């Protein structure tokens, strides 16, 4: 499963992660400026999609948001440690799907960690809904994490190399 360290693989992996973190951060800054100019009022883009401004001080779905400053530092450090560990795993992985999955997850974790450090919480702005049923607001980092986990699951389920 683990090949020797390849400099090209290291550079590709790190550049991809940096690119994804930049996409995440740039979209959050862009949306924050738009929302500031719009007095932070929700903006409807499509019949099922709004742009909103939510500062999530907890984790998924706002859990643990009552932890305050302790939660801010704990979840920031936790995200940075996990994101960094996943980068190392991705660099040493020999399968492209596994490496890509871990790269997506780590870039999402690091993107949200940056928000926690600088803003005290994660900036969420995508509000997907059907009629009056709204999914919790999310951002591109959350999308990266979700797609990475789905890729890992598919790779695990459909990988033809069964090790017994």
Catalytic residue chosen out of the listed positions 24, 115, 124, 127: 124
Is 127 an active-site residue?
Answer: no
Total number of domains constituting the chain: 1
Which pTM value belongs to this model?
0.86
Examine residue 35 and state whether it is found in any structural domain, yes or no.
yes
Question: What range defines the domain where residue 54 resides?
Answer: 7-158
Examine residue 164 and state whether it is found in any structural domain, yes or no.
no
Examine residue 17 and state whether it is found in any structural domain, yes or no.
yes
Q: Around 22, how many Cα atoms within 13 Å sit in the side-chain half-sphere?
A: 6
Q: What is the pLDDT of residues 6-65, one digit of tens each?
A: 888 889 999 999 999 999 999 999 999 999 999 999 999 999 999 999 988 755 545 445
Q: For 61-79, what is the mean pLDDT?
A: 64
E strands within 22-97? 43-46, 49-56
Catalytic residue chosen out of the listed positions 24, 115, 127, 142: 142
Tokens of 41: 């009022």
Examine residue 1 and state whether it is found in any structural domain, yes or no.
no
Examine residue 112 and state whether it is found in any structural domain, yes or no.
yes
Is 142 an active-site residue?
Answer: yes
Examine residue 36 and state whether it is found in any structural domain, yes or no.
yes
Examine residue 96 and state whether it is found in any structural domain, yes or no.
yes
């Amino acid at each position: 499963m683990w090949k020797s360290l390849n400099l090209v693989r290291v550079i590709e992996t790190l550049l991809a992660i940096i690119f994804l973190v930049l996409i995440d951060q740039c979209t959050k800054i862009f949306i924050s400026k738009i929302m500031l100019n719009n007095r932070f009022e929700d903006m409807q883009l499509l019949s099922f999609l709004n742009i909103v401004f939510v500062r999530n001080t907890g984790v998924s779905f706002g859990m643990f948001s009552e932890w305050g400053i302790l939660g801010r530092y704990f979840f920031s450090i936790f995200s940075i440690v996990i994101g960094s560990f996943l980068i190392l795993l991705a660099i040493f992985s020999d399968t492209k799907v596994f490496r890509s999955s871990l790269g997506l997850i780590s870039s999402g974790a690091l993107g949200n960690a940056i928000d926690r450090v600088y803003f005290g919480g994660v900036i969420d702005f995508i509000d997907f809904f059907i009629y009056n049923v709204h999914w919790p607001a999310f951002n591109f980092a959350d999308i990266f994490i979700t797609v990475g986990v789905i890729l890992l699951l598919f790779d695990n389920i459909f990988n033809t190399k069964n090790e017994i």
